[in-house]
Structure 1
Amino acid sequence: METLSPEVLEDLRHGRAPRERKIAVCTGGAHLAPVDRAEILAVLAGDADEMVATRAQDAILSLPPEAFIEAIKREQALPALFSYAAKHLADKPGICDALVHNKNCATEHLVHAVRHLSTLGIQTLMEELERISESPTLAAVLEHSPLLTPEQKNQLHELYGPGHPIDEAALAEAAAAAEPDVARRQTLIQRIATMTVAQRVQYAIKGGTDARRTLIRDPNKVVQRAVLASPRLTDQEVEAFASMSSLTDEILRLIAGNRNFRKNYVVVRNLINNPKTPLDVTLHMLPMLNAQDLKRLTMNKNIPETLRTTAFKLHRTRADLKK
């Protein structure tokens, strides 16, 4: 049995190998790891040579779904594999969830996968605001999934429903806080004012800091969540958001619930000192404050009385323990 070099493997993965070698892979005449064979057979199943394609399709029947799942999980997995798996293997357990978990899998392939997703797969996909906001078709298919929770259905409605009309005054106020330059601010306002909700989600994820600082105050919750999901979001921005009393308690709760955000002490301190942060959240985080900030909190008259009283008791308890 022939052992294939990395160069030959690449030729096979991209359909450049000679016919004889393609046939050898289909008939088991070439030594390949199951994960490599699965991916290459998926590529060859769409080969222009009808004999190669037929042999590849027949060979696929003998491979376990696990081989395809492992192939799909790989960062360098090919679009041809995604396409074949979505169209022909979607009913196999684990295939569609694997497609969702690979960030490189295009939304066009996920459309075929939705009805076969597990509850966890649906949840994972619903958290991928960038994918859903760029594909109305995917969102429409998702909306008909019986596994969707009422909250998730509401999120889709927020994204593609009529949405809240843009409050121009509120937009101008948010932009003024985000962008000091008048000319750039006006450009920002004009750009956002003409966007749909889905477009604002895309802008929140992919735009610059001025876009995020403006859109965190968007009237649509899904846009606000997109800001927090942006891979470009900086620690300094989250720190600023945590101190903004103009944000909704829901967004402040989301910030507090994010493990990565909570690793930043400034975020925690700002949330606790923000009068808009829900009381149950601030009480839970209170022990995370250092002695100096805890003492300052006892004198903060903007926070709820319950929080201030609890802070005072904790401060006194800590002082007693030091005696």
Structure 2
Amino acid sequence: MCSGTAGLPPAERAELLTVLAADTDPLVAERAAQALVTVPVEHFLAALARSDAAPELFRYCADQLGEQTAVADALARNPATPAETLCRVARALSPAAVEALLEDLDRLTQHPAVIVALRRHPGLTVSQRELLEELQREAMSETELAEAVRAAETDQAARQTLLQRLARMTVIERVQLALKGNREERLALIRDPCKVVQRAVLQSPKLSDAEVESYAAMANVSEDVLRQIARNRNFMKNYGVVRNLLNNAKTPLDISLHLLPRLNPFDLRSLTTNKNIPETLRSMALKLHRQRSEARLRS
């Protein structure tokens, strides 16, 4: 079989050879190791795409092929890759693979060692480095903590309980809470000073449309939160989110002007009298309202 006569598909053969190379029988292990040298890297890449790949495959690829970017990326793409293996190949990851890992906050925060390994990557952008540094920050300051909790809880006892819990949490722990916590916890954490925690709130599988609408209307969230909402296609399918962003004075003007044509006639007319939004946006809303009115009269 080691010579390739077993008739297995190439990816399966590559995986099986890595298992045999770790066999306790020295003869079997030696023959498999010799055969592995002749296996094209493409076969390993195909094998690494399997979610149920053998642990021996991950170890072999990291040990023998981990300096190759394609192999490192394949290991990073597989959620079954052990964290310790991922750490060993982190420096070889492509920029796209690094970005994909940084987007997967749940995986990243469950394995802090990966964060440390990624910080040694030679090709990090400034924003990527800042995100990784944020993840290793400690708890919020007392002032930041109190402001965030006050927005989430009106009940004094519940507010104090949440305050005590968040005070003991690191950024990594708050990211996990943002992803898996309840509505009140997300409402507090959307105002967390760390952008990575804010991002985790917006990535939470428990996040409802109504919550996103409320965030889009909040004047006390960061500009970055509003930009993240506006960049999310699923969020922007919700007309309520669009309307709230346009009526929020905190929304950056480049986003507001881009969204303006999506307003219905009633909401557009209301926007023309909104004194809280920038004058530029109000003027453009009035101009668009007049254009639409004239077009209706001509038709």
Identify which of 109, 124, 132 aligns with 1:148: 124
Identify which of 198, 206, 229 aligns with 2:180: 206
Aligned equivalents of 2:21 and 2:264: distance in 1?
Answer: 62
Pair 1:67 & 2:43 matched = yes
SS in 1 for 2:124: coil
Pair 1:167 & 2:145 matched = no
What's the offset of the Cα at 1:72? Answer: 1.4
TM-score (norm: length of structure 2):
0.90
Residue in 1 aligned with 2:283? 309
> Could you report, residue by residue, the CA deviation over 1:252-293 in whole angstroms, capped at 9, with x for unpaired residues?
111111222222222111111111111111111111222222
Distance 1:33 1:247, change over 3 A: same
Alpha carbons 2:139, 2:168 under 8 Å: kept: no
Residue in 2 aligned with 1:274? 248
Alpha carbons 2:139, 2:169 under 8 Å: kept: no
Aligned equivalents of 1:186 and 1:87: distance in 2?
Answer: 50
Alpha carbons 1:100, 1:125 under 8 Å: kept: yes
Distance 1:193 1:30, change over 3 A: same
Structure 2 counterpart of 1:54, one-letter code: E
What's the offset of the Cα at 1:246? Answer: 0.7
Pair 1:48 & 2:19 matched = no
What's the offset of the Cα at 1:180? Answer: 5.3
TM-score (norm: length of structure 1):
0.84
SS in 1 for 2:206: coil
Identify which of 243, 253, 259 aligns with 2:227: 253
Residue in 1 aligned with 2:60? 84
Distance 1:67 1:236, change over 3 A: farther
Distance 1:284 1:31, change over 3 A: same
SS in 2 for 1:105: coil
What's the offset of the Cα at 1:179? Answer: 4.3
Aligned equivalents of 2:271 and 2:28: distance in 1?
Answer: 72
Residue in 2 aligned with 1:187? 161
| Structure 1: runs of 5+ lacking an equivalent | 1-23
Alpha carbons 1:164, 1:219 under 8 Å: kept: no
Alpha carbons 1:122, 1:147 under 8 Å: kept: no
> Could you report, residue by residue, the CA deviation over 1:43-64 in whole angstroms, capped at 9, with x for unpaired residues?
3332333333322222222221
Report % sequence identity: 50
Aligned equivalents of 2:110 and 2:189: distance in 1?
Answer: 18
Aligned equivalents of 1:270 and 1:65: distance in 2?
Answer: 51
SS in 2 for 1:231: coil
What's the offset of the Cα at 1:184? Answer: 4.4
Pair 1:298 & 2:272 matched = yes
Distance 1:311 1:139, change over 3 A: same
What's the offset of the Cα at 1:140? Answer: 2.2
